[in-house]
A and B are shown apart, each in its own frame.
Chain A
Amino acid sequence: MAVASTARPPLWRNVRFLRVAGQIVFVVLVVLVARQAFLNLEFGVREQRLDLSFDFLRQRAGFAIKEGIGYSANQSFFDAFLVGVVNTIRVALLGLALATILGLIMGVARLSSNWLVRRIAQVYVEVVRNTPVLVQIIFWYVAVILALPAIEGGISLWDLAFVSNRGTAIARFRLEEGAGAWVVFLFGGVVAAALVMRWRTSVNDRTGRTGPRLPWAAAAFVAIALGGFLFTGTPLRGDVPEVGRFRYEGGLQVSPEYTALLLGLVIYTGAFIAEIVRSSIQAVPKGQKEAAEALGLTPRQQLRLVVLPQALRIAIPPLNSQYLNLTKNSSLALAIGYPEIVSVSNTIINQAARATQMLLLVMATYLLMSLTISAAMNALNRVVTRRGRR
C-alpha cells in the first residue's frame, strides 16, 4: 500500500482556500455591481436636476387628504406620509381582526356535520380564493359601493345608521366629562373579574365540582362598571349622525374607499384563514380526540381542551404569513384612492419626483410593520407552545 501523501494539496484544490476565495470574489462582485448601480443612479438623478437627499420631506405638501388624522395641505410631505401610515394601520388592524373571525367561522363551518353548511363554506373558499384580491376590491368599490343610492335617497337603519355612495355613518357613544375616572373603574372591574375567576376556580378545585366561573366573573365586572358609570355622572353621550346636503354630520363616519378596501381584504384573507383553520384542526392526530373521549370529556371539552390548543400551535406560522399578506395587500388601495402609504407616496412622487427616496421610505415602513407582526406572532407562538408543554 502506498503511504498516504502528507504533502498539502495545491492551492486550487484546497477546500479551505477555495471557500475563502469564493466568498471574496462574491462580495467583490456584489460591491462592484452595487457601486455601479449607485453611480448610475446619482448620474441619472443629477440629469433630472434632482438630488438624493431626504430634505424635500420638509417642503409644503400642497395636496389635501380626504381622511385620517388631522392634516392640512399646508403641512409637509412627511406629515402627509404619516397620515398614510396611520390609514394603513387603521385598515390593517381592523382587517386582521375581522378576517380572523370570518376565517374561524368559515373554517369550522367546513368541518361541520351539516352538509349544507359545509357546502356553503366550501363554495365561499373556492370562489374567493381563486379570484385576485384586486379584482375583488375594485368590484366592491365600483360595482357595489359606488352603485349604492345617492345621499338623499340613501338607506337608513332606524335613523341610527345611514348607508349611501358617500359612505356609511353609524350612531356611536362619545366619551364626555368624567370619562377618565370611568375608565379607571372599568380597569378595576377587569381586575376584580380576574380575582373572582381565580376564586371560583379554586372553589371548584377544592370541591371537585364544575360550577360556573365565567358568569361570576362577568357579574363582578358588570357590577363595578355600572356602579362607576353612575358614580362618575354617566359620562357617555349618544352621537347620532344626520344627513346633510353632501355629507353626513356627526356619528362614526366611514368612507366608501375604506369600506371597499376593508371588505375586499377581509373576505379574501378570510378564505385563506378558513383553509388554515380547517387543515390545522384536521392535522391534530385522531388518537388525541379518541383519548379525550375515552377520558370521558364532553364533545365541547374535547374541542376546547384537547383539539383546539394543538390546532392553534399548527395554525400560527401560516396565520402569520396571512396577516403579513393582508397588511401588504392594503397597498392595493392605490387602485381605489384610499389614502394609505402607497397611495399617498404615489401622490408625493408625482408632486416632488423623488421616487428613489420615497420608495426607500415606503419599503422601510413596510419592513418595520412586517417585523412587528412577525414578532407579535412569534411571541404568541412561544406562549402557546409553553402552555402545551406544561
Chain B
Amino acid sequence: MSGALPGDLERASVRVDEEPAVQVAPLGPPLTRAEWIRRNLFSTWFNGSLTVLSGALVLFLGFHFLRFVFVTADWSVFRANLRVYMVGRFPLEHIWRVWAVTFFLAGLIGVSRGVLTPARWTRRRLLVVSPAAALGVGAALYLVRSALVWTLMGVAAATYVAGVAAGRRLGRRLVRPLLVGWLLAFPFVVVVLSFGDVGADRWGGLLLNVIVAVAVIALSFPLGILLALGRQSSLPAISWFCVGFIELIRGVPLLTLLIFGRFVLILLLPPGVAFAQIVRAIFMFTLFSSAYVAEIVRGGLQGVPEGQYEAARALGLSTTRTLALVALPQALRTTIPPMIGHFISVFKDTSLLAALSFSELLFTARRASQAFEFIGHQAEALLPAALLFWMIAFAMSRWSQRVETRVGVGER
C-alpha cells in the first residue's frame, strides 16, 4: 500500500480538481440568524423542550468542567512528571536521542504535509484551529519552565515549518525521497534510540506506545495480507490453517494473548533463546493485529469483481501476478478507511501494556497519581494521558476521513 499511496493521492486530487463543480440551484436567500435558530432548535414543541433540556445539561457540565480545568484542578502532578509521561525512565544523559528523532520526524511530517496537502485556510478552519493552538501554547507555558526545552521545541517547530515550505516549493519531485524517508524512518528511529547502551527496556511513556504501535502496524500489515490470501487459497490445508488461526485469535481478548507472551511463549522457544519482555509483547500483539488486518483485506478482496480475475487470466498472468498486479492493488484501495480505523485501535490498545506493568503512558500516569504528594489529584494525573491518546487517535481518524474522500472510496 505504502508503495502506491502518495502518487495515487496526487492523481486523485488532480482528477477531483478537473471535474466541473456541480451547480446546485440556489435554495433562496440564506437564512437569517433568527430563522436558523427557529428551524434548527425550536421547530416543534418537542424539539424546543429538547433544546432547553440539553442546553441546560451542556451549560451545567461545561461550567463544571471549565471550572475544574482552570480553577480547582492542580495540574502540578502532570508538570512534575512531564518527562516521564513522554519518555518514561529514558536516561537523562541520552535524552538527546529523543530530540534528534523529534527533529527528524518533524521535518519528515512537515515535508509530507507540504507535498500532499495544499494549504486551504478557510475561515471555519481558522476558527477551530486558533483557539486550540492558543490553548496548546498556554498549556506549554504552564508546563515547560526550562529555557533549553523551549529552545529545542522551537527548533522542532522551525524544522516542521521549513519542511512544509520546502515540500510546497518542490512539490511532487519530493514524492520518491519522501517514500524512502518514511520507509527508513522506523529503523532509523529504533537505531538512534537504542544503539550503544540504551536498551529497549528503558523506553517508556508515550514514546513506548508510539514505537510499539508502529512496530505492530508495520509487521502485521504484510502478515495480515498473507493470512488473507491464505484464507482465500484453493488449497484446503492452507486455507483451513489460516481460518483456524484467524478465528482463534479473534475469539480471545488481546490481554490473554499478552499474558501468554509473558508466561508461555518463552517456554515454546528452544532453551537458551530469550527475548526482551517488550519484544515478546510486540510479537503477540502482531499476531493479534494480523488476524484483524487479514479480515479487512479479505473484505477488500471479496469486493474485487470476478471479471478482473478472468481478465487477468485471459492476459495469461500467473496466480501470483494476478494477485500482486490486479487483485491486491484494487482490494487495498477500498480497505484504506477500515485499515486506518484498525491502526487507530492498535494505537489505543498499546495502553493494555499498562496491565502488564510496562511503563507506557497510562501506567506512568497511574503511578504518578499514586505518589504521596499528589494524593487526591488522580483526575489531574490521568486526564493528560487520556488527552494525549485522544489527540493522536483523533488526528489519525481525521486524516483517514481526508484520505477517504481523496481516493474516492465508494465513488468508483
- A211: interface (CB < 8 Å): no
A97 adjacent to chain B (CB < 8 Å): no
A47 CA to B41 CA in the complex, in Å?
72
Q: Are B344 and A130 in contact (CB under 8 A)?
A: yes
Query: Which of B40, B41, B252, B260 contacts A328, CB < 8 Å?
Result: B252
* Residues from chain B with Cβ under 8 Å of A328 in the complex: 252-254
Query: Which residues of A138-156 are within 8 A (CB) of B?
Result: 138-139, 142-144, 146-147
Report yes or no: B256 in contact with A131, Cβ–Cβ below 8 A: no
Give the segment of B14-22, B141-149, B300-308, B351-359 that binds chain A.
Answer: B351-359
Alpha-carbon distance A134/B40, docked complex (angstroms): 37
B378 and A146: CB pair below 8 A? yes
Cα distance A134–B350 in the bound complex, in angstroms: 10
A6 near B: Cβ within 8 Å? Answer: no
| 8 Å CB interface, B40-63 against A | 40-41, 43, 47, 50-51, 54-55, 57-58
Residues of A within 8 A of B41 (CB): 114-116
CB distance from B264 to the nearest CB of A (A): 5
Residue A254 at the B interface, CB < 8 A?
Answer: no
* Known A43-B271, A116-B58, A359-B263; contact A331-B253, beta-carbon cutoff 8 A: yes
Tell me, in angstroms, the Cα distance from A96 to B150 when the chains sit together: 48
Contact partners of B351 in chain A: CB under 8 A: 132, 134-135
Query: How far is A342 from B252 in the complex, measured between Cα atoms in Å?
Result: 11
CB of B29 within 8 Å of the partner chain? no
* In the complex, per-residue mask of A90-120: 1 if CB is within 8 Å of any chain B CB, else 0: 0000000000000000000000111111001
Given contacts A41-B267, A116-B41, A332-B352, contact A138 B362 (CB under 8 A): yes
Residues of chain B with a CB closer than 8 A to A362's CB = 252, 256
Chain B contact patch, size range: 35 or more
CB nearest to A346 among chain B residues:
B259
Q: Does A226 have its Cβ within 8 Å of any Cβ on chain B?
A: no
Q: Within 8 Å CB of A355, what residues of B?
A: 259, 263-264
Contact between A27 and B255, CB atoms less than 8 A apart: no
Closest B residue to A133 using CB positions: B348
Task: Give Cα A22 to B233, complex, Å.
Answer: 12
Q: Are A363 and B269 in contact (CB under 8 A)?
A: no
Q: Are B47 and A359 in contact (CB under 8 A)?
A: no
CA distance A189 to B74 in the complex (A): 58
Alpha-carbon gap, A22 to B235, bound state (A): 9
Interface hits, B213-271 → A, CB 8 Å: 234-238, 241, 248, 250-256, 259-260, 263-264, 266-271
What is the distance, in angstroms, from A74's C-beta to the closest C-beta of chain B?
27
Residues of A within 8 A of B260 (CB): 359, 363
Stretch at the interface among B83-91, B103-111, B189-197, B379-387: B379-387
Q: Are B348 and A367 in contact (CB under 8 A)?
A: no
Q: From residue B102, how far is it (CB to closest CB) to chain A in Å?
A: 23
Pick from B252, B270, B355: contact of A367, CB under 8 Å: B252
Picked from B241, B263, B369, the residue with its CB within 8 Å of the CB of A142 is B369
B394 contacts A115, C-beta separation under 8 Å: no
Which residues of chain B have C-beta atoms less than 8 A from A335's C-beta?
354-355
- In the complex, the answer to whether B251 meets A143 with C-beta atoms within 8 Å is no
B393 close to A (CB within 8 Å): yes
| Interface presence of A4 (CB below 8 A) | no
Looking at the complex, which one of A30, A120, A127, A332 makes contact with B255 (CB distance below 8 Å)?
A332
Given A22-B235, A44-B271, A132-B349, A359 contacting B382 (CB threshold 8 A): no
A126 within 8 A of partner (CB)? yes
Asked whether B389 lies within 8 Å of A342 as measured between CB atoms, the reply is: no
What CA separation (Å) do A127 and B385 show in the bound complex? 14
Q: Does A199 contact B (CB under 8 A)?
A: no
Interface size class of A (residues with CB under 8 A): 35 or more
Looking across the interface, which residue of chain A has its beta carbon closest to that of B260?
A: A359
Interchain CB contact (< 8 A) of A342 among B55, B253, B393: B253
Determine whether the beta carbon of B58 is less than 8 Å from that of A120: yes
For residues 319 through 361 of chain A, which have their beta carbon under 8 Å from a beta carbon of chain B? 324, 328-329, 331-332, 334-335, 342, 346, 349, 355-356, 359
Contact indicator B252/A44 (Cβ below 8 Å): no
A231 CB within 8 Å of chain B: no
Q: How far is the CB of A67 from chain B (nearest CB, A)?
A: 20
Flag whether A371 is at the interface (Cβ < 8 A): yes
Question: In the docked arrangement, what's the CA distance between A371 and B248, Å?
Answer: 11
Chain A nearest CB from B126 CB (Å) reads 20
Q: Is A132's CB under 8 angstroms from B271's CB? A: no
CB distance from B85 to the nearest CB of A (A): 13
A371 to B238, CA, bound (A): 23
In the complex, the answer to whether B354 meets A134 with C-beta atoms within 8 Å is yes
Closest to B355 in A: A335
Minimal Cβ-Cβ distance residue in B for A126: B394
CB distance from A357 to the nearest CB of B (A): 10
Q: In the docked arrangement, what's the CA distance between A328 and B349, Å?
A: 13
Across the interface, do A116 and B54 meet the contact criterion of CB distance under 8 Å? yes
Least Cβ distance of A138 to chain B in Å? 6
A278-335: which have CB < 8 Å to B? 324, 328-329, 331-332, 334-335
Are B253 and A113 touching (Cβ within 8 A)?
A: no
In the complex, the answer to whether B259 meets A342 with C-beta atoms within 8 Å is: yes
Residue B188, interface by CB 8 Å: no
Which residues of A does B touch, CB under 8 Å? 19, 22-23, 26-27, 30, 36-37, 40-41, 43-45, 47, 112-117, 120, 126-127, 129-136, 138-139, 142-144, 146-147, 324, 328-329, 331-332, 334-335, 342, 346, 349, 355-356, 359, 362-363, 366-367, 370-371
Q: Please, could you name 22 A-B residue pairs with CB atoms under 8 Å apart, sorted by A?
A: A44-B267, A45-B267, A114-B40, A117-B50, A120-B57, A120-B58, A131-B389, A132-B352, A133-B348, A134-B351, A135-B382, A135-B389, A139-B383, A147-B379, A324-B250, A328-B254, A329-B253, A342-B256, A355-B264, A356-B267, A359-B256, A362-B256
Having A138-B382, A366-B251, one finds 11 other A-B pairs with CB under 8 Å, namely A114-B54, A116-B54, A120-B54, A131-B348, A131-B389, A132-B352, A135-B382, A139-B383, A334-B355, A335-B355, A355-B259
| Interfacial residues, chain B to chain A (CB-CB below 8 A) | 40-41, 43, 47, 50-51, 54-55, 57-58, 234-238, 241, 248, 250-256, 259-260, 263-264, 266-271, 344, 348-349, 351-352, 354-355, 362, 366, 369, 376, 378-379, 382-383, 385-386, 389-390, 393-394, 397
The 9 closest A-B pairs by CB, nearest first: A355-B263, A44-B267, A130-B393, A143-B379, A328-B253, A23-B237, A115-B40, A132-B351, A132-B348
